[in-house]
Amino acid sequence: MPPSKGEVCQAVLSFVTDGAYPEENVVAAEFPATALAKELELISQAREQVENEISSLSRENTSFDADDWIVQAKQLHADIERSRVTAREIVAQHEHTSPLRSKVEDASAKVGLIETEIAFNQAVAETLKEVQRLCQQLENGRVALANGELTVAIGQLESTKAAIGKDAFFTNTNVMSILTLEVARFREQIENTLRLRWQEQLKVDRQRGEFQVNKGHGANALDNTIASMSRLEILAPASEKLLKDLSVAVVDPILLPRADGKSRAVAITDTGIQIQSDYSETTVAETLSRTTQVLDYLRQNLPTFISTELSQSLIPSVASKAISGWLSSSIPTTLEGLGEFEKTLDFVMQFANTIQSWGWTGIEELVSWVNQAPRLWLTRRRVDSLDSVRKVLAASQGTTKQVERVEKEQVSKADEALLENATDDWDASWDDEKEEESTAAPATAAEPEEEEDVSAWGLDEDTQEEAEPDAADPSGHDDADDDAWGWGDEVGEEEQKGQNVSLQADTTSKPENGGKATQSSAPREITLREVYTVTDIPDSILDIVRQQINDSKDISQPPHSTSRVASSGAGLLALPTLILAMFKATSSSFYSLKLGSGQMYLYNDSLYLASQVRKLMEEHQLSRLDSDVEALEKFGKFAYSKEMQTQSTIVNDLLDGAQGFGQCSEQPFKTECENAVSATTDRIRDVYKEWQPILSHSALFQSIGSLLSTVVNKIIIDVEDLGDISEDQSKQLVAFCSQVSKLEDLFMPETTGEAEAVPVTAVYVPNWLRFQYLINILESSLADIKYLWLEGELGLEFSVDEVVDLIEALFAESEHRRRAIAEIKRAPRG
């Protein structure tokens, strides 16, 4: 239960008086405000009680003596006063002695200053005496220098410099700077004197090409000059400059010939070397002999220190200049010069052995050059052959000639009959060939409309692919380097279409047993002939290739077999590959810049060169050239492909001026269409005239057919894209197509006079018949079109949907048109 008010007040009083902690229930209870008066009263009572107890205790303590304490206090006060008086007296006395102390300190300071000044004056006097001595020493050195006593002067210089560095009084003083400057000036005077003496004793005249040695005697001897320069550490740079001057004044005129190969002779006397002013024809042996004489004179007349340095710096330079100035150019490019080259190698080894016998070094480059003679000779041949290709291209005047390409093919009886039937179209004649039995499958002649154009040359790519612009590289990439080195040949090979050939053979066979002549069922060998134009470049390139092959064989035979470079003979067989690669790398730009229709000339030249190299390969059994021949053929075909792509792009751009032949019967669109068609046909005729003297007859047909195929295909597509063709438009389109059809006069075969020539346009333009049928459709009635489909061969060129679209574009909606379309759709296709 909670405590009462009295209990709370008593608990607080106990805590205040005795420090007793109340019980838990009292602590938790609330102290009422009404108990405050009661609590204060209890505390007051406790206070009075404590005061009473203290008073009582004080009265009871009667033994305390206060008078004694008072007396002692008074005595203590008197002692304190006396101490204060004493202190004041001490302070007064101290204040009286301070001026005296200051005078003593001032006097001590003056004494110290005077002592320091005395010491300083003594030091200055000693320093001045030392400076005077050093100045006199420098003056003595100058006098000795003036009298030519270089050793004495250098000794004075060294002792003066050592004394300056040793004396501590000079540190961080103006005297030190002055003395240092004087020492530097004196040293410079000595050095200048030494350099002048050095130049007088070892005199080099760059302008006149002279070198003189004056060893002197006594104090002026060259050895003393070298010793003095060594003490001053100026010998090394002076020696280095001397060697450079010798190289320019003496060595270079001997080892560095003029552009015409002439050099200067040298005269050596007891006193020096003199380079002659006149230039004369000089051989490698004479040059090495002159160099040996010069080096031997230097070895004998120069001091050991300089001659030793000579072998370390000048000899490597001599070896390098001898190689670059004389030896590299002495490497022959033909076998006829190997004998002289062998003598040159002997001279070089003799020169190297002489230098080594003197104990000199630095000649290792020459020895290495001799040891590497086979590799260097082969390198020279490679460089010369590649440079010859460049010279051939640069020197070519573009002269041309006609060459004949001949191939033999095996044909069966069926193929022969086909060829006989095709003679009217191809104007072909047959040459008699010996009949042979063949175990291989006979070559099957293709129908003229499909493969006649390329089968003879082994190129069976689709003609239509070449005609379309996108048959070439879609990116338009025309990297000359890639074309030249054969990279990207795959693209060119896919696009390339080969030449067509005229067939010449005798269709009759010999009679058996005197009987009637009969046709043999065995395969026959026929000759395919082709005439085209090439420049003078392939023959020149072929001569370079042939030289490498012939030299490779001749070098292994006497008298060349004993040559040091005979081991490089096999390496010559690798040069034709590089020569052909160089031709591919550089010919493209040359043909484009210097020849009209350069790419077509490059095409012919590449194939002609490839055929001639193949003959060389078979003649000398060089199978390693097979891949190079194939790469060269691909390169030529790629050049043809690029030219065809360019011309296809041109005719496409010209025909684009027709704008798809929309509204071609209305002005001004009619004029634009007329101009576009005229420009396109004129361009094809111009290209025909440009290529006619270059390409073979069949190749000309092939290339022009490709261009015409491009034009025809675009016209067909544009016409089929027209949704509605009026009667006037139809007539105008027929006129445009007829103008293009007149280009078939370009495809007239060569005639023998026995039969009238018939154009072979359909053979070389795959979509020509389709184009002719399109003209028929545009100018025919609905009944005629239905007849062409049902009774003719229209279905071979057009699909049902294409014919229906054209009918719907040409004819208005009618019952008659619906029946015609229905009959066409029901009828079986051609």
Assess contact for 440 and 682: CB atoms under 8 A.
no
Residues 655 and 552 in one domain: no
Dihedral, CA of residue 632, residue 634, residue 635 and residue 638, to nearest 10: 160
Q: What is the pLDDT of residue 698?
A: 86
Query: Using H for helix, E for strand and C for coil, what is the string for 769-809?
Result: HHHHHHHHHHHCCHHHHHHHHHCCCHHHCCCHHHHHHHHHH
Residues 128 and 156 in one domain: yes
Residues 635 and 649 in one domain: no
Q: What is the pLDDT of residue 412?
A: 63
Residues 556 and 609 in one domain: yes
The CATH number linked to 797 is 1.10.357.150
Q: Label residues 534-544 b or e (16+ Cβ within 10 Å = b).
A: bbbbbbbbbeb
Of 195, 301, 302, 315, which Cα lies nearest the Cα of 247?
315
Residues 323 and 453 in one domain: no
How do residues 412-452 score in pLDDT, each as one tens digit? Answer: 655 554 444 433 333 333 233 333 333 232 332 333 333 33
Structure tokens at 283: 């051989």
Q: What is the pLDDT of residue 540?
A: 93
Residues 666 and 799 in one domain: yes
Last residue of a domain, one of 16, 33, 58: 58
Residue 169 included in any domain: yes
Assess contact for 294 and 268: CB atoms under 8 A.
yes
Residue 633 backbone dihedrals phi, psi, to 5 degrees: -65, -40
Q: What is the pLDDT of residue 154?
A: 86
Token look-up 């496409």 returns 652
The CATH number linked to 79 is 1.20.58
Residues 404 and 292 in one domain: no
Q: Radius of gyration (Cα) for the chain, nearest Å?
A: 60
Q: Label residues 278-292 b or e (16+ Cβ within 10 Å = b).
A: eeeebbbbbbbbbbe
Last residue of a domain, one of 586, 609, 639: 639
Residue 220 included in any domain: no
Question: CA–CA separation, 748 vs 324, rounded Å?
Answer: 64
Q: What is the pLDDT of residue 378?
A: 93
How do residues 621-678 score in pLDDT, each as one tens digit? Answer: 888 889 999 999 999 999 999 999 999 999 999 998 888 887 777 788 888 888 999 9
Q: What is the pLDDT of residue 63?
A: 52
Residues 93 and 18 in one domain: no
Residues 694 and 743 in one domain: yes
Residue 658 included in any domain: yes
Instruction: Quickly count: other Cβ atoms within 10 Å of residue 611's Cβ.
Output: 17
Residues 629 and 686 in one domain: no
Segments forming the whole domain that contains residue 28:
5-58
Structure tokens at 504: 């010449």
Residue 207 included in any domain: no
DSSP code of residue 317? H
Q: What is the pTM of this model?
A: 0.65
Residue 222 included in any domain: no
Question: CA–CA separation, 366 vs 255, rounded Å?
Answer: 14
Question: CA–CA separation, 748 vs 741, rounded Å?
Answer: 13
Residue 378 included in any domain: no
Question: CA–CA separation, 481 vs 588, rounded Å?
Answer: 9
In the chain, which stretches have pLDDT less than 70? Answer: 1, 24, 27-28, 58-67, 69, 165, 167-173, 218-219, 409, 411-522, 751-755, 828-830
Residue 213 included in any domain: no
Residue 145 included in any domain: yes
Sheet holding 524-535, edge to edge: 400-411, 524-535, 502-504
Domains identified in the chain, total number: 5
Residues 586 and 606 in one domain: yes
Residues 717 and 620 in one domain: no
Last residue of a domain, one of 192, 219, 251: 192
Residues forming beta bridges with residue 510, ordered by sequence position: none
